[in-house]
Homo-oligomer: A and B are copies of this chain.
Amino acid sequence: MASEGSEAQNPGDGGGGGPPKLQFVPFSSALDAGFWHELTQRKLNEYKLDETPKAIRGYYYNGDPAGMPARLTLEFSAFDINTPTPAHCCPAIGTLYNTNTLESFKSCDKKFLLEQAAIELWNTITSGDAIENPVLLNRFLLLTFADLKRYRFYYWFCYPALCLPEGISLIQQPVCLGAKFSPAQIRALQSAYDELCQKEGLTALPYFLIKYHDESVFVSLLKNWKDFFPDQREKVILGVYDPSNFTQYPGWPLRNLLVLAAHRWGSRLHSVEVLCFRDRTMQGARDISHSIVFEIKLPPMAQNSAGCPKAVGWEKNQKGSMGPRMVNLSECMDPKRLAESSVDLNLKLMCWRLVPTLDLEKVVSVKCLLLGAGTLGCSVARTLMGWGVRKITFVDNAKISYSNPVRQPLYEFEDCLEGGKSKALAAADRLQKIFPGVNAEGFNMSIPMPGHPVNFSEVTMQQAQRDVAHLEELIDAHDVIFLLMDTRESRWLPAVIAASKRKLVINAALGFDTFVVMRHGLKKPKHQEVGDSPCNNPCGSADLLGSSLFSNIPGYKLGCYFCNDVVAPGDSTRDRTLDQQCTVSRPGLAMIAGALAVELMVSILQHPEGGYAVASSSDDRMNEPPTSLGLVPHQKS
């Protein structure tokens, strides 16, 4: 068995002829769920399609009980390279290669990556940087592909270790500290190590120098080599903070230290003693006596040797063969959280390539009041859900009838039984069933309408007053008001209230094979409020008369649904035949109009001026620069 790159997990001290070779316990990568979560977030919001390598941080601990694998841990904090290393841990400097596709993950040139890392390591050794800052010897690579649609994470971990060409021959087999040092010496080592850490302000020293005389033990930094060992005949001990828990084998970090030692001091030292510092707390008492000590032959390595040594380090997978690992987090995640992040993902994908400037937060955080939970209301609510809108409130006074579910996509047959559920309440319930993360409410109430006089009994008067007050409160509490009712006159009062409160109003109305989807004009804040007209600019005002049909009109000069009326809204429900009582329309129309109403809202929200956005039509593409989602019209029909 070749000693270079040999691993100690199936021990055996190298059969065949010659002296026994030292073997090492490789790192097991320990990638926390928090790491994958943070990777998901960074991929979605920061990296997107960027595949360039990213600097990350890991760490290893050396206080584990015997039998535990040597782990290199990556937590959610791995992405913040300034995060302090946890106590009793050594940091490791990582490079993340996150690929965009499973194919590029699989076809990635891992040999090349390892060679690159080896050259960097070698450069830090030959340049002396590694002696100044030994953490530079602790490098790792992480190749990943995050399948965010299925919460599966593919990864391949590598801790590059430079190899000495002939391996490392053991002169003296490992023994535990207690077998070689007196208890007083052990105590002295512990104190000296702690003092140096404290002085350096480090949680742990990965590599250090040790010398001892009788009961006194001294510890120093690698860079102090010359001062620490002035006498060339003095016994040199290399210390390593060792994550291995095997009594016969040191962990992986020692490998690069030995290459460094061979390169720097190999010409002078023929052999060197190694102390694998292991530090644990057993039954409340700190203990380093299980640390191991052994002596090796240090092969000479010319200081001017330009050739970078070969390196090893790609981790084996769970089956023990060379290959990537996969972790499926969907099974251990809360399904409701999973649903939320999946919905987020689908939206954020829009920002990756298609509309990088899209400000999703403006859409997701908007509070929508849907007046009407019929064919239009259901379609609008569904499209809002698709856009990730979290706050949706329904107002309707009707019950679900048997003809509704086939056209109103939030209801089912069961909702019609026993007289039918209230549409507003059932719609809100359904949204929660579709996506538990939504905040949906329903109010079963009537909207007072012109032309529908209230009976002047005290009871009905009071009810009408309460309805007006409640409607006003609801409009106050939302950002966008959708008018989705089945009569013209029911749109009047909400349009007036919303105009007075400067809320964005989106109106949709259906004919048989025609429809209108429009935004109402939004009064400029500096103007004085005129509470009795939903429209801010009376039709026919001088500045509009002069403008052509297709010229751009700023949002504050746009009219409302009632602007073209020559009659005041009145009771349109009296004396209607059956086919006039419900909106008889081509069934596809409500979905088209409902979807367009939401898309119009989103376009308005994305415009830097919001509701004051200039009304553009496709005829004036030249005049108004489109926003991230294109032109914002006033009306589609």
Interface members, chain A 573-606 (any B CB < 8 Å) = 574-579, 581-582, 584, 586-589, 591-592, 594-596, 598-599, 602
Interface contact B350-A383, CB-CB below 8 Å: no
Given contacts A403-B149, A582-B346, contact A588 B413 (CB under 8 A): no
Residue interface bits A385-396, CB-to-B below 8 A is 1, else 0: 111100000000
Interface members, chain A 402-432 (any B CB < 8 Å) = 402-403, 405-407, 409, 411-414, 416-417
| Interface segment, one of A26-34, A215-223, A317-325, A433-441 | A433-441
Interface residues on A, range: 35 or more
| Interface segment, one of A98-106, A180-188, A237-245, A287-295 | A98-106
Interface contact B386-A587, CB-CB below 8 Å: yes
Interface members, chain A 508-565 (any B CB < 8 Å) = 512-513
Q: Which residues of B contact A587 (CB under 8 A)?
A: 383, 385-387, 595, 598
Interface contact B434-A349, CB-CB below 8 Å: no
Residue interface bits A443-477, CB-to-B below 8 A is 1, else 0: 00000000000000000000000000000000000
Q: Separation in Å of the A66 CB from the closest CB of chain B? A: 39
Q: How far is the CA of A386 from the CA of B404 in the complex (A)?
A: 9
Interface contact B588-A346, CB-CB below 8 Å: no
Asked if A567 CB lies within 8 Å of chain B CBs, one says no
Given contacts A149-B578, A405-B434, A513-B630, contact A588 B584 (CB under 8 A): no
Asked if A23 CB lies within 8 Å of chain B CBs, one says no
Interface members, chain A 32-53 (any B CB < 8 Å) = 49
Interface contact A512-B354, CB-CB below 8 Å: yes
Interface contact A588-B577, CB-CB below 8 Å: no
Asked if A352 CB lies within 8 Å of chain B CBs, one says yes
Chain multiplicity (copies): 2
Interface contact A579-B349, CB-CB below 8 Å: yes
Asked if A260 CB lies within 8 Å of chain B CBs, one says no
Interface contact B581-A588, CB-CB below 8 Å: no
Q: Which residues of B contact A403 (CB under 8 A)?
A: 149, 339, 342-343, 345-346
Interface contact B402-A382, CB-CB below 8 Å: no
Q: Which residues of B contact A413 (CB under 8 A)?
A: 335-336, 339, 433-436
Interface contact B591-A103, CB-CB below 8 Å: no
Residue of B nearest to A341 (CB): B402
Q: Which residues of B contact A512 (CB under 8 A)?
A: 350, 354-355
Given contacts A512-B354, A579-B349, contact A434 B416 (CB under 8 A): no
Interface contact B386-A588, CB-CB below 8 Å: yes
Which one of B100, B412, B575, B588 contacts A101 once the chains associate, using CB atoms below 8 Å?
A: B575
Which one of B354, B388, B402, B584 contacts A338 once the chains associate, using CB atoms below 8 Å?
A: B402
Interface contact A629-B346, CB-CB below 8 Å: no
Interface members, chain A 340-364 (any B CB < 8 Å) = 341-343, 345-346, 349-350, 352-355
Asked if A150 CB lies within 8 Å of chain B CBs, one says yes
Which one of B148, B435, B592, B599 contacts A586 once the chains associate, using CB atoms below 8 Å?
A: B599
Q: Which residues of B contact A578 (CB under 8 A)?
A: 100, 147-149, 345, 349, 352
Asked if A190 CB lies within 8 Å of chain B CBs, one says no
Q: Which residues of B contact A388 (CB under 8 A)?
A: 406
Q: Separation in Å of the A200 CB from the closest CB of chain B? A: 44
Q: How far is the CA of A345 from the CA of B582 in the complex (A)?
A: 11
Q: Which residues of B contact A572 (CB under 8 A)?
A: none
Q: Separation in Å of the A431 CB from the closest CB of chain B? A: 9
Asked if A490 CB lies within 8 Å of chain B CBs, one says no
Q: Separation in Å of the A379 CB from the closest CB of chain B? A: 6
Interface contact A343-B402, CB-CB below 8 Å: yes
Given contacts A401-B149, A588-B595, contact A579 B416 (CB under 8 A): no
Residue of B nearest to A433 (CB): B412
Interface contact B349-A582, CB-CB below 8 Å: yes
Residue of B nearest to A49 (CB): B577
Q: How far is the CA of A579 from the CA of B354 in the complex (A)?
A: 9
Which one of B147, B335, B385, B575 contacts A402 once the chains associate, using CB atoms below 8 Å?
A: B335
Q: How far is the CA of A100 from the CA of B338 in the complex (A)?
A: 53
Interface contact A435-B406, CB-CB below 8 Å: yes
Q: Which residues of B contact A402 (CB under 8 A)?
A: 335, 338-339, 341-343
Q: Separation in Å of the A275 CB from the closest CB of chain B? A: 49
Residue of B nearest to A589 (CB): B595
Q: How far is the CA of A150 from the CA of B416 in the complex (A)?
A: 12
Q: Separation in Å of the A395 CB from the closest CB of chain B? A: 21
Q: How far is the CA of A406 from the CA of B381 in the complex (A)?
A: 10
Interface contact A599-B588, CB-CB below 8 Å: yes
Q: Which residues of B contact A575 (CB under 8 A)?
A: 101, 103-104
Q: Which residues of B contact A629 (CB under 8 A)?
A: 513, 586
Q: How far is the CA of A43 from the CA of B397 in the complex (A)?
A: 28
Q: Which residues of B contact A150 (CB under 8 A)?
A: 401
Q: How far is the CA of A469 from the CA of B574 in the complex (A)?
A: 58
Q: How far is the CA of A149 from the CA of B401 in the complex (A)?
A: 8
- Interface contacts beyond A343-B402, A355-B512, A588-B596: sample of 8 additional A-B pairs, CB < 8 Å, sorted by A: A49-B577, A338-B402, A339-B405, A342-B402, A354-B579, A386-B588, A405-B435, A589-B599
- Give me 30 A-to-B residue pairs in the complex whose CB atoms sit less than 8 angstroms apart, sorted by A's number: A103-B574, A149-B582, A335-B413, A335-B416, A338-B402, A338-B416, A339-B402, A339-B405, A339-B416, A341-B402, A342-B402, A343-B403, A345-B578, A350-B512, A383-B588, A383-B591, A385-B406, A385-B587, A386-B406, A386-B407, A387-B587, A388-B406, A405-B434, A405-B435, A406-B434, A413-B433, A413-B434, A413-B436, A586-B599, A588-B595
Closest 4 CB pairs between A and B?
A: A386-B587, A588-B595, A342-B402, A342-B403
